[in-house]
Amino acid sequence: MTTTVLSDIKMDESQIRRALLVVDLQQDFTTPNGPFKNSYFNIDHIISNLTTILPHFREHNGIVIWIKADYSKFISEPKYLTRPEGERYEGIPMNDALLSGSHKAFPLCMPGTDGEKFMPEIESLIKTDQDIIITKTYYSAFTDTNLADILKDVQEVHICGLVTGVCVQATTTDAFFHGHKVFIWTDCLGHRNEKGHRKALSNMKRWYATMINSSNYYQQATLANLKPILYFVNGSIPSWRVMMVLYEKGIDFEGKRLKVMSTPKETKSAEFLAINPRGLTPTLVDTDGSIIAESLAILHYLEEYYPNTLPLIPVEKSEHIKVLQRIQESQNLVDIYEPLEEIVFKTPKEEQSSHKDSIIKTLQLIDQELAFWEMYLTKTTFIACNHFTLADCAFYPVIAYLIHRGLNLDKFPILKNYINTIKTKPAAIKSHPIDWVEKGGKINIFRVVNNIVINSNKENE
Ligand SMILES: N[C@@H](CCC(=O)N[C@@H](CS)C(=O)NCC(=O)O)C(=O)O
């Protein structure tokens, strides 16, 4: 079953509806002598930032929602959000018992007290004819409120306020699970201490939200709505790896195919050399202008900088390190195999037989290398652990490429089985090189080199 995710709906900038949730700027949190005195924030800075940006935000389809806490009920049972269906949400941590709960340790934001009220400076920022005020009783502004209904046509949810690691984080997580694209205004936040603040930021960045600055939220959010561009060469292992990750994570991108069989090569055009002076693909130009090349580095980049997408690096340490290792190891097979292409494509026919020994050695090394991967797959279903990870995206295109070039895997039945499983995955199907057919490539490298060896033996008889 598919679910419509608000943040996936593509629209023009002018159509995007956004909301800003300003969380808990009440006096109990902000007064210098209150329970949150000496905390890690400067309320004057937050107020000054909001004063500058709110008029602009309202002008750009933005509704401002002021969230207030009422903790007078001393609720002790957490209330959990139900995980929505869809790949986007699988395996992503939801609010834990603490974040799904409410405050009960001491009286805080009690109705009728000054502590429950907004500071006068905040009151003066509220436009009572346009803004909305919501009172929540849990940490998350979504729990037991009508916030989800209010936001039902809103794509971008921007969040700021207090405190980063509790109400802001609880609300951010739920906003993500309600299908919104979430932006955190990092210069309008605060927590009891710096450590907790940073930990919460890194957690939110990893899973649920894009970190932006209030002063240029508009530009940064607009950039976040653009598509990254991937310069690629069709049928190249490095480009294939990156595409597989983009599709698996559901990152919408614009592919720009560069031809390398043309003269001059499109990869060596002045325009492309200005982007990547090595003239090599894949090269990713991200929406904020960041440029990154080298396939394995791009894999890590996508994992790090697309936190709202399906995670492909496990959090559990032993699995994590296996993924890191296998990603790097996947290059071994490429490096071992490459001399065969040198011999077939770049060596004059009459000289090829002189490479007989090197061909035999290379074929042995390929077999030895494949034996490692066969062994890995006796231990886990996928190449690094029991679920699909970045390591599969690094490795699968290598082995699939070699098969296209005529590699026979009869000696490696588990590997063969693995290939048959992966190739049916939507990300593998979508990233499959354009026009490649099942029966293999025009030039069967493995057959050609075997013939070189046979012919060379005959010549020496
Ligand atoms: N180590 C690089 C290798 C990149 C590479 O060699 N790309 C080739 C395609 S397989 C390319 O763009 N060649 C263009 C050219 O030769 O002009 C990576 O993993 O990204």
108, with CB counted inside 10 A (0-12, 13-18, 19+), is buried
Dist. CA 445 → ligand 1 center (Å) = 19
* 2 inside domain: no
Q: What is the pLDDT of residues 403-420, one digit of tens each?
A: 999 999 999 999 999 999
239 within a domain of the structure (yes/no): yes
Query: Residue with structure tokens 């199907």?
Result: 429
- Asked if residue 5 belongs to a domain, the reply is no
Mutation probe of ligand 1 site: the residue of 232, 233, 272 with most atoms within 8 A of C-beta? 233
Q: Same domain, yes or no, for 272 and 128?
A: no
Task: Please check whether residues 265 and 375 belong to one and the same domain.
Answer: no
Closest residue (by CA) to atom 14 of ligand 1?
280
Of the pLDDT bands very low, low, confident and very high (cuts 50, 70, 90), residue 209 is: very high
For 391, other C-beta atoms within 10 Å of its C-beta total 27
pLDDT at 96 over 90: yes
Q: Strands 283-285 and 291-293, how do they pair?
A: antiparallel
179 and 50 part of one domain: yes
Angle subtended by helix axes 356-379 and 390-404, to nearest 10: 140
Same domain (yes/no): 114, 89: yes
Pick the range with the lowest mean pLDDT from 1-15, 33-47, 141-155: 1-15
CA–CA separation, 26 vs 121, rounded Å?
A: 11
Question: Residues 126, 184: one domain?
Answer: yes
Pair (153, 40) in one structural domain: yes
- pLDDT tens string 186-199: 999 999 999 999 99
In-domain check, residue 323: yes
The residue among 260, 282, 305 that closes a domain is 305
Taking a C-beta distance cutoff of 8 angstroms, is the pair 202, 178 a contact? no
CA distance 21 to 162: 11
The CATH number given to whatever domain includes residue 266 is 3.40.30.10
Residue 311: inside a domain, yes or no? no
The pLDDT tens digits of the residues spanning 210-232 come to 899 998 887 777 777 778 999 99
Give residue 287 CA to ligand 1 midpoint distance, Å.
22
Is 40 in the same domain as 187? yes
User: Is 343 among the domain residues?
Assistant: yes
User: Residue 245 to residues 122, 299, 452: CA-CA distances in angstroms?
Assistant: 44, 7, 37
Residues framing ligand 1 (Cβ under 6 A): 233, 236, 238, 260, 265, 267-268, 279-282, 294-295
Same domain, 269 and 407: no
85 and 215: one domain? yes
Co-location of 103 and 175 in the same domain: yes
Q: What angle do CA 258, 260, 261 make, to 5 degrees?
A: 130
Q: Are residues 361 and 437 in the same domain?
A: yes
Q: Which domain holds residue 279?
A: 229-305
Q: Residue 312 falls within a domain, yes or no?
A: no
User: Are the beta carbons of 449 and 363 closer than 8 angstroms?
Assistant: yes
Please indicate, yes or no, if residue 348 is contained in any of the structural domains: yes
* CB-facing half-sphere around the CA of 33: CA atoms within 13 A: 1
Q: Identify whether residues 280 and 410 lie together within a single domain.
A: no
CA distance 293 to 284: 6
For residue 334, count CB atoms less than 10 angstroms from its CB and return exposed for 0-12, middle for 13-18, buried for 19 or more. middle
For the chain, the domain total comes to 3
Residue 376 has pLDDT above 70, yes or no: yes
Average pLDDT value for the chain:
93
- Of 180, 206, 224, the position where a domain reaches its end is 224
Q: Give the C-alpha separation, 76 to 398, whole Å.
A: 53
Q: In CATH, what number is assigned to the domain containing residue 195? A: 3.40.50.850
DSSP symbols for 27-63: HHHHSTTSTTTT-B--HHHHHHHHHHHHHHHHHTTEE
* Ligand 1 center from residue 398 Cα (angstroms): 13
Residue 353's domain is classified under what CATH number?
1.20.1050.10
296 Cα nearest atom in ligand 1: 19
Of the residues 253, 281, 305, which one is the last residue of a structural domain? Answer: 305
